[in-house]
Structure 1
Amino acid sequence: MKENKYDDPAFFANYSQMRRSIDGLTAAGEWYAFREMLPDLQGKKVLDLGCGFGWHCRYAREQGALSVVGVDISENMLARARESAHDAAIEYRREAIEDIDFAEGAFDVVISSLALHYVEHFDIVCNKVNHCLVAGGAFVLSVEHPVFTALAAQDWYYDAEGKRLHWPVDGYQDEGLRQTNFLNNDVIKYHRTITTLINSLIDAGFSITKLSEPQPAAEVLARYPEMKDETRRPIFLLIAAVKKR
């Protein structure tokens, strides 16, 4: 199933008002950890899967990437990305992540930020990414943490006064589709265990080099105090892997 909520005008309008949408990477609490997991991008050919507004594409170019391809299913996302910077070395393509079909060894680095939990067949994407990477190429990705995606409600457990008591986890081993609510819309995500995520990468021919379950950066918490509860449970899982030579 290839869902595209972002081309719904009302949903996109709400999404565009999120802090991450307005302030970009500086408002992403996990960015400091994701950035540290990226390899040297100087002179590299980079692919960004689920590129959204193009923040990571532009960052790659700022770091000296030779060329960048950004893939996203949403025309609204791609239009905003194109408006934000005019750079002939960045190519934006409208395509579902599952449908990518690049030549063998076309890229040195593939990145994906908070997009792959919308993809039904993670294993297929891993194999396609491996195919389009050079030997020794890097795949760095972030997804919503399985502790976060296990329950479709994706919400805290509250007491009678509305105080957040704890984050419930149930059905963790029951992988598959979750009908969640995001920005007052029904959105489909796919829950996978950490084991499945890691083994899918290994089975596709990758070696895992680093994992991270980052808390929001201190400067982000200082700027956005409403994020203080994000330190109480992991919300993102970051994985760095390399294609075996």
Structure 2
Amino acid sequence: MSQNIYDSIDFFESYSKYPRMENGLAGASEWPLLETMLPSNLVSKTVLDLGCGDGWFSRWALDQGAKAVCAMDVSKNMLSRARALSPPDRYSAITFRQVDIEMLEGQDGGLDPEAYDVAFSGLALHYLVNLEAALRQVFRSLRPGGLFVFSVEHPIFTAPQRPGFKKTGAAQDWPLSSYFAEGEREVDWLGAPVRKQHRTISSYLKTLRTVGFEVVVVDEWGVSDDDSRKHPDWPNDGGIPRFLLISAMKRVDAADSL
């Protein structure tokens, strides 16, 4: 079962002050790159939003013409905020569900087979212990030709057992260690112990292929001097990759690998 840190009152209050919570799409600096990996036309598409948070992607998808969105998150606090930000007169086609995506297979209201054209997950999958089981359910839920686009914290960023920038003169260095030692990492974030799962890039790609996906695009995002790669509260950290972005397709000739 996933750690539900966002239902901690103190943690959620602190997280709510983050730019991506206060500003939605404008606060998600990786979004311009991530958007290029999504279908150019969502009109009449059915969309799955896994780890939907406050629903920013779900609202965007409907604004792009999607027919319906199923938005899932484990956190009651996040879903409450998502509903408050999604007035039903405009976003009635979004269905919000409290679901632990770590346990999709066994939950009521889980993923129906071949129900979606597009699946999306923003910065959620690195919390999952059993990633393969979740990806199998996403694969099963997509129609042939369907696309799955997701972002996770970059494996260089999740690798260290004791993460943290080290200041060297005017520069900030990220000490890379334990990259090939996959598994749980616990970090102190916003005053709380947060559990994440470290995986190598090759592990993400192999797992996608194992369940039947064809990897389409792999990209990386980090702060740089490029104006399109800025973040409201992050300095130029020397080009440390922060996020790994991947799109994968369920081929038209693919058979479910369940």
SS at match of 1:65: coil
- Cα pair 2:172 2:237 within 8 Å, conserved: no
Within a 5 Å distance, the mapping from 1:1-245 to structure 2 comes to 1-39=1-39, 40-86=41-87, 87-100=91-104, 101-159=110-168, 163-216=170-223, 218=227, 221=230, 224=232, 226-230=233-237, 232-245=239-252
Which amino acid is 1:147 matched to? I
1:104-161 deviations in whole A, cap 9, x for unaligned? 10111100000000111111111110000001100000000000000143311224x7
Which amino acid is 1:36 matched to? T
Q: Normalising by structure 1, what TM-score?
A: 0.94
Which amino acid is 1:115 matched to? A
Inter-CA distance 230–244: structure 2 relative to 1 (3 Å threshold): farther
Q: Normalising by structure 2, what TM-score?
A: 0.89
Kindly report the root-mean-square deviation, in angstroms, between the aligned alpha carbons of the 2 structures.
1.5
* Equivalent residue, structure 1, for 2:107: none
Count of aligned pairs: 241
- Cα pair 2:42 2:65 within 8 Å, conserved: yes
* Equivalent residue, structure 1, for 2:255: none
- Cα pair 2:222 2:229 within 8 Å, conserved: no
Give the distance between the partners of 2:228 and 2:250, measured in 1 at CA: 34
Give the distance between the partners of 1:91 and 1:77, measured in 2 at CA: 14
Give the distance between the partners of 1:24 and 1:219, measured in 2 at CA: 17
Give the distance between the partners of 1:213 and 1:117, measured in 2 at CA: 15
More helix by share: 1
Inter-CA distance 232–105: structure 2 relative to 1 (3 Å threshold): same
Instruction: Give unmatched runs, 5+ long, in structure 2.
Output: 105-109, 253-258
Runs of 4 or more off by more than 6 Å in structure 1? Answer: none
Give the distance between the partners of 2:30 and 2:172, measured in 1 at CA: 24
- Cα pair 1:26 1:220 within 8 Å, conserved: no
Inter-CA distance 170–21: structure 2 relative to 1 (3 Å threshold): same
Give the distance between the partners of 2:83 and 2:190, measured in 1 at CA: 24
